[in-house]
Amino acid sequence: MRHLTSVPETPEPLMDVPAVAAYLSVKTSWVYDHRRDLPFFKVGNQLRARRTDLDQWLNQQRAA
């Protein structure tokens, strides 16, 4: 009898600044100017974001 194991959930890929800019349809300079408002975190000295966090942030902006 084989032992069934669950497949681990694939983590959401992280987006760098150019990917965030493309996703939001803005320039990378705009992303850097608003980095304190956006849901970024640092990996080493680089900014990274998750698409789901950006989507939540966008929904909050619409409500504000």
| 18-42 b/e (C-beta count within 10 Å ≥ 16 → b) | ebbbeebeeeeeebeeeeeebebee
Per-residue pLDDT at 6: 60
pLDDT band for position 5 (cuts 50, 70, 90): low
pTM for this structure?
Answer: 0.80
Give tens-digit pLDDT for 44-61: 999 999 999 999 999 998
How many CA atoms lie within 13 Å of 7's alpha carbon, on the beta-carbon side? 3
Give tens-digit pLDDT for 13-27: 999 999 999 999 999
